[in-house]
Amino acid sequence: MNEKELKIHFTPGHVEVVQENVDIPYRRVLVTGATGLLGRAVYKEFQNNAWHALGCGYRRAQPRFLRCNLTDEDAVRAVVQDFQPHVIVHCAAERRPDVVEHHTEAALNLNVHASGTLAKEAAGIFLIYISTDYVFDGRNPPYGENDAPNPLNVYGKSKLEGEREVLRHSPGAAVLRVPILYGEVERVDESAVTVLWDKVQEGAESCSVEHCQQRFPTYVNDVARVCRQMAERRLQDPSIRGIFHYSGKEQMTKYEMACAIADAFNLPSSHLIPMTEQPAGAGAQRPQNAQLECSRLELLGFGVEPIPFKTAVRDSLWPFLYDKRWRQTVFH
């Protein structure tokens, strides 16, 4: 599809405004939560691979993305009808378990009701709903796509209810469950993985890091590639629907992640103290080990081999080195 675009041409002593034809890819994808950690990666992955991508967000949306309140049914309907996407990747969510425990109504509005609204509007559109390993209790891993969920906290319950709403209103939708995520962050506290950077860099003072729960840190760029592969396959194969799992393969506690981050940057880790018991009042209960078994994607031939943790975390955190802080303004 061709559209006209105005461009300014400069030559010495002369400025000219001209109209040029611009190729717009015919495949359209709507990415919700495009301002967030995963949403940014998903938007970029589609945009860089011959898709016409529209990202929407809320508080941080403008000027780059469309501002849309997903809890407003009329606003959601207008965006979907105006853009007419072939695919929607629904990344928007309240994903912080401790926040969900204390602001439950707002979280349910976004994680459940907004997801249901989007699914209702997605008739004839392939919807990918991003969910979580926290739908499982972590007592009997690994968990396959057909294993019975049993969430321990309100966040996990809200995402499970969101899954059910999506599949009820849009039976052709896909649910993609993923574990703890990290990637190129705008602030280190944007991910429960990269936030460990502050403890790694403290260096001189000893600090405790949780060493109880087993996690599988997963790089958002890998998840984004899975979403794109699913979308492209679905355009030819309507059987791409239902529940899927994707996960990094390296098993670590947060203490082990912090040590790996230190090693990736050749920093000391002797000041990090493994904490083998959860302190009282530690917030929302987390599963002990909610490892996801990902055979369904693998059997379908989705070949996204996870990038090694040390490589990906180095790419994510290098702008936050003390001698490179100035680069944050350039790259983030």
| Each residue's pLDDT tens digit, 294-318 | 999 999 988 789 999 999 999 999 9
pLDDT of residue 330: 47
Q: How confident is the model at residue 107 (pLDDT cuts 50, 70, 90)?
A: confident
Per-residue pLDDT tens for 256-301? 999 999 999 999 999 999 998 876 666 788 899 999 999 999 999 8
- pLDDT over 70 at 18, yes or no: no
Q: How confident is the model at residue 1 (pLDDT cuts 50, 70, 90)?
A: low
Q: Residue 219: which of 195, 249, 199 has the closest Cα?
A: 249
pLDDT of residue 204: 66
pLDDT of residue 222: 97
CA of 194: how far to CAs of 7, 23, 63, 202, 316, in Å? 40, 38, 26, 14, 8
Least confident of 1-10, 49-58, 246-255, 265-274: 1-10
Q: Write down the pTM of the prediction.
A: 0.88
Bridge partners, 215 (sequence order): 252
Phi, psi of 33 (to 5 degrees): 65, 30
pLDDT of residue 141: 96
Per-residue pLDDT tens for 120-165? 999 889 999 999 999 999 999 999 999 999 999 999 999 999 999 9
Domains along the chain?
Answer: 28-181+218-248+289-306 (3.40.50.720)
d(CA 104, CA 197): 29
pLDDT, average across residues 188-208: 89
Q: Residue 138: which of 291, 294, 248 has the closest Cα?
A: 291
Q: How confident is the model at residue 177 (pLDDT cuts 50, 70, 90)?
A: very high
- pLDDT over 90 at 5, yes or no: no
Q: How confident is the model at residue 324 (pLDDT cuts 50, 70, 90)?
A: low
d(CA 316, CA 56): 23
pLDDT of residue 310: 97
Tokens, residue 104: 């439950």
